[in-house]
Amino acid sequence: MARYFDVHPQNPQPRSIGQIVELLRGDAVIAYPTDSCYALGTRMDNHGGADRIRDIRALRSDHHFTLVCADFAQLGHFVHVSNSAFRAVKNATPGQYTFILPATKEVPRRLAHPKKKTVGVRIPSHPVVRALLQELGEPILSSTLILPDSDEPMTDGWLIKEELDHQLDAVVDSGDCGTEPTTVVDYSSGVPEVIRVGGGDPSRFE
């Protein structure tokens, strides 16, 4: 059964954050809120956790996961940001954007696109995620919590627990965080290409 954490959306309780991070360090798979929908997350190096997320969402083996990072400095360890992209990406974070950029050697090969060698990265603004990332000290490997038989992400923490109780290790409930996913910008060629319009204003990249 998944552990259930009721965490304040603006002032997350340090004790709860510490307990959730300990579960992540023990290779847990969690559901947690972001500034763009609930997401499924695990440690970047947790190979089994990534497979569990694929199973929950019925994803293909080449699914593009996202590395959710604490700040721009951490993001820079895992992707190459060209001079042309630097200012635009930095000015748009934290926020409702996912950027596809060339992966560095710090990213396990299995997580990068098999041909392009790219990976998705984002820096969220949600206080709960930011507290988790600060305590964990590394990115959270994530995917939006959309079940195979649905077109919309799940939005209610307690319903997530009821639906996925035996497939998750923890559910972090901080209330409704919306159904609009991130805007995805592919910067892998050095020129921005908006490939999905979501919560972030795409006009700055068009």
Instruction: Supply the pTM of this predicted model.
Output: 0.93
Average pLDDT of the residues of the chain: 92
pLDDT average, residue stretch 57-74: 89
pLDDT, tens digit, for every residue of 123-173?
A: 999 999 999 999 999 999 999 999 998 888 888 899 999 999 999 999 999
**Number of C-beta neighbours around residue 154 at 10 A:** 20
Counted domains in the chain: 1
User: What confidence score (pLDDT) does residue 130 get?
Assistant: 97
pLDDT, tens digit, for every residue of 181-205?
A: 899 999 998 899 999 999 999 999 8
Percent of all residues in the chain with a pLDDT value above 70, rounded to a whole number: 100
**Residue found by looking up tokens 């001079």 in the block:** 83
CATH number reported for the structural domain that contains residue 28 in this entry:
3.90.870.10
Helix (H) and strand (E) counts in the chain: 6, 10
Instruction: Give the largest CA-CA distance in the chain.
Output: 47
User: What confidence score (pLDDT) does residue 83 get?
Assistant: 87
pLDDT, tens digit, for every residue of 8-17?
A: 999 999 999 9
Residue-range definition of the domain harbouring residue 53: 3-205
